[in-house]
Amino acid sequence: MRASRREILKALGLGPFALPLLPAAPARAAGIASRLLCVVHTGGYRQLHWRPPEGPLTGPLPSSAAPLEPWKNQVIFLPGLANPHHRGSPEGAYPCVFYGLPQRTAADNYAEPLGKTVDQVVAGVLPGGPARALALHVQIDLPPVPIERGATRCLWAGPDQPVVPAGDPTAAYQRLFAGRPGDPGVSKLLLERKSVLDVVGKSLQRWRERLGPEERHVVEGHLQAVREFESTLGATQPGACTVPPVAAGDVRDPKLWSKILDSQLALAVAALSCGVSQVVTLQLSNSTGAGVDFGQFVPGVPALGTGSGPPGAGRGWLDLARNGTLGGSDLKRIVDRWLMEKLAGLLGRLQGVPVPGGTLLDGSVVLWGSQMHDGDGGDPRVAWLLAGRGGGYFKTGQCAPTAGKPLTGVLADICKAFAVPGQPFGPVHGTLNS
């Protein structure tokens, strides 16, 4: 007998139901950020149409950024940030985009960080620790994707420890939220899983004592991952929040890219609002972004095979950066604006979740970044956005004077907003703090 995975899950009583399994996150002190959402893509933005004048956001936003108009008091534009350790190509810059410190060259010739990326650093000081960091992606593994590790990994729990994101929102939803309170099948499955993980954990604990430091490090990472997984199972406890079921369809269908993005964003907000996680990361592209076909779902971008672009040109980030203009239309600019609509939608979702004393957005920090500035592969700068006041830390509503300043300053500010001890990314930027 050969049963499909779906059949077995069904047989085990799993299904997309409505209530979370975990209690809400413990409250943090006022004035300190409590939730972090990091989103990364490639290609940057057409600066002329995206970048507002430096200073307070008093005038209308440029056309690509216009969807953020209702949110401009909640955002900080961060154009022109310097990436001092840029490796000369956007591909090489991708793995360390949220790291920014001196790097190493991995066996596959991609740069890799020598420490944790900002999401992991912040997760380390939040309740639940790194165990509660949720990593997601949207079709970063669709072809053509370079086979090197650094082409798809940009978040790191440490040297040689890539954070592998989940690309199926339905599966992630089931893992995080499945089960009706009192459903005996689900309760039984969770208890079974915890029993097995307990055996696995003990086995790892004993085994590491018999190994040298190098091997012990590998086993300890495995043990930590098991604990992390176990913590997401949690105790079966009806929560106070309700989340809609997430279903995205075939996660490898390029036409569903936008739908999967929406599902992952919904999942991210659900995870943050229900306390399943305090840190969520979402990778929208691999190092090239060539696997996306925006022509499939972005209005105004013709589908592949139409128009008069270069032979074989795709409609992904890579091609838009190089051949963005088609028939007189700047498709890159259209996609930039569409992405800002998605960001605006995300901010709306966060704003729509009430928490004691305000909304989910108030205590959150959204880092929306790219390893590029405007699509020029040799340009070592990056253009980012911050959103959310982070519990009052950030001085939102401005286009910050970040030109030429190292991106590590922004990462340092984020760490400070979360009260991370020390200065893991060096000094703060200086003008982002309210």
Spell out a b/e string for 251-273, using b for 16 or more CB atoms within 10 Å of the CB, else e.
beebebbbbbbbbbbbbbbbbbb
Query: Which of residues 133 and 400 has its CB atom nearest to other proteins in the complex?
Result: 133
The answer for residues whose C-beta is within 8 angstroms of residue 154's C-beta and 6 or more apart is 40, 94, 95, 96, 97, 98, 117, 283, 287, 371
Question: Phi/psi zone of residue 50: left (φ > 0), alpha (ψ -120 to 50 degrees), beta?
Answer: alpha
Tokens of 410: 């922004």
Cα separation, 154 vs 281, in Å, equals 10
Least separation, in Å, of the C-beta of 294 and other proteins? 18
Query: Which of residues 74 and 263 has its CB atom nearest to other proteins in the complex?
Result: 263
Query: Which of residues 382 and 399 has its CB atom nearest to other proteins in the complex?
Result: 382
Query: Which of residues 195 and 434 has its CB atom nearest to other proteins in the complex?
Result: 195
Least separation, in Å, of the C-beta of 221 and other proteins? 5
Query: Which of residues 128 and 409 has its CB atom nearest to other proteins in the complex?
Result: 128
Least separation, in Å, of the C-beta of 286 and other proteins? 9
Secondary structure letter of residue 283 according to DSSP: E
* β-strands 156-158, 161-162 pairing: antiparallel
Least separation, in Å, of the C-beta of 126 and other proteins? 15
Least separation, in Å, of the C-beta of 97 and other proteins? 16
Helix axis angle, 331-351 relative to 257-273, nearest 10°? Answer: 30
The answer to whether the Cα torsion of 119, 51, 373, 407 is positive or negative is negative
Q: Report the first-to-last Cα separation within the chain, whole angstroms.
A: 63
Helix axis angle, 213-233 relative to 184-208, nearest 10°? Answer: 170
CB atoms inside a 10 Å sphere around CB 309: 20
Least separation, in Å, of the C-beta of 215 and other proteins? 4
Cα separation, 434 vs 418, in Å, equals 14
Query: Which of residues 276 and 417 has its CB atom nearest to other proteins in the complex?
Result: 276
CB atoms inside a 10 Å sphere around CB 357: 10
Residue corresponding to tokens 């893991």: 424
Least separation, in Å, of the C-beta of 337 and other proteins? 25
Least separation, in Å, of the C-beta of 157 and other proteins? 6
Least separation, in Å, of the C-beta of 167 and other proteins? 9
Least separation, in Å, of the C-beta of 106 and other proteins? 7
The answer for residues whose C-beta is within 8 angstroms of residue 218's C-beta and 6 or more apart is none
Rounded to 5°, the CA angle 129-133-139 comes to 165
Cα separation, 276 vs 400, in Å, equals 33
DSSP-H helix ranges across 131-183: 169-177
Residue corresponding to tokens 């077995």: 8
Query: Which of residues 17 and 229 has its CB atom nearest to other proteins in the complex?
Result: 229
Query: Which of residues 170 and 351 has its CB atom nearest to other proteins in the complex?
Result: 170
Least separation, in Å, of the C-beta of 416 and other proteins? 25
